[in-house]
Chains A and B, each alone.
Chain A
Amino acid sequence: AQSVAQPEDQVNVAEGNPLTVKCTYSVSGNPYLFWYVQYPNRGLQVLLKYITGDNLVKGSYGFEAEFNKSQTSFHLKKPSALVSDSALYFCAVSPLNNAGNMLTFGGGTRLMVKP
């Protein structure tokens, strides 16, 4: 069975500083990996996804994530944080051979960007 771990419940960063939100996964075979963001009273919005190819994936709002197969990690990064980036971030995995396209989510990390 697949699983996703987000080791930090909350990440605090000052505006303008780089941010990293960590994610590690466990899945049989090669995974499809996603980062979703949730703003208050909104649904989950996809930021980026890794399917295959370049290990560095660029997504919406200046976010990027690096797929590291040896460390089974998919950390979310942004070079310069904005106050508007403050939200709840979820990492998710879907196994390569998943016919039903079931996503398995991590527990979420709350990002707080202070002015």
Chain B
Amino acid sequence: EPEVTQTPSHQVTQMGQEVILRCVPISNHLYFYWYRQILGQKVEFLVSFYNNEISEKSEIFDDQFSVERPDGSNFTLKIRSTKLEDSAMYFCASSEVAFGGETQYFGPGTRLLVL
């Protein structure tokens, strides 16, 4: 069964450094998402992406964050200058279409630790 994959599984970085989290969505999916989960807190929506544009973003997704689909398979989340509070598990997801009832398929996550 096709799966969403994410790399790296763990990333440790220093405060102020840039990080890029990578995701390979399911191949025939057209809609891509990033969510994050701070330890002990809820899974929170960050951004959705379709046709090389952001469809929707939350207030968490400020100017420090950006997303890109650099080629036909990868979908990336960049954090420009990491802060301690960016430490979290980051999940990528994808779906075939984007009507509200469509299932989103999640990757295993990247655990980011900012020191």
The residues of A with any CB-CB pair to B shorter than 8 Å are 32, 34, 36, 41-46, 49, 51-52, 90, 92, 94-108
Contacts and interface: CB of A to CB of B under 8 A. Distances in A.
Nearest to B107: A43
A72 B53 CA distance: 34
Contacts, number: 72
B101 A32 contact: yes
21 contacts: A36-B106, A41-B108, A42-B108, A43-B4, A43-B6, A43-B105, A43-B106, A43-B107, A43-B108, A49-B101, A94-B101, A97-B100, A98-B100, A100-B48, A101-B31, A101-B98, A101-B104, A102-B56, A102-B58, A103-B104, A108-B42
B50 to A, nearest CB: 9
Instruction: Report the 9 A-B pairs with minimum CB-CB distance, sorted nearest first.
Output: A100-B56, A43-B106, A51-B101, A44-B106, A105-B43, A32-B101, A101-B98, A94-B100, A100-B55
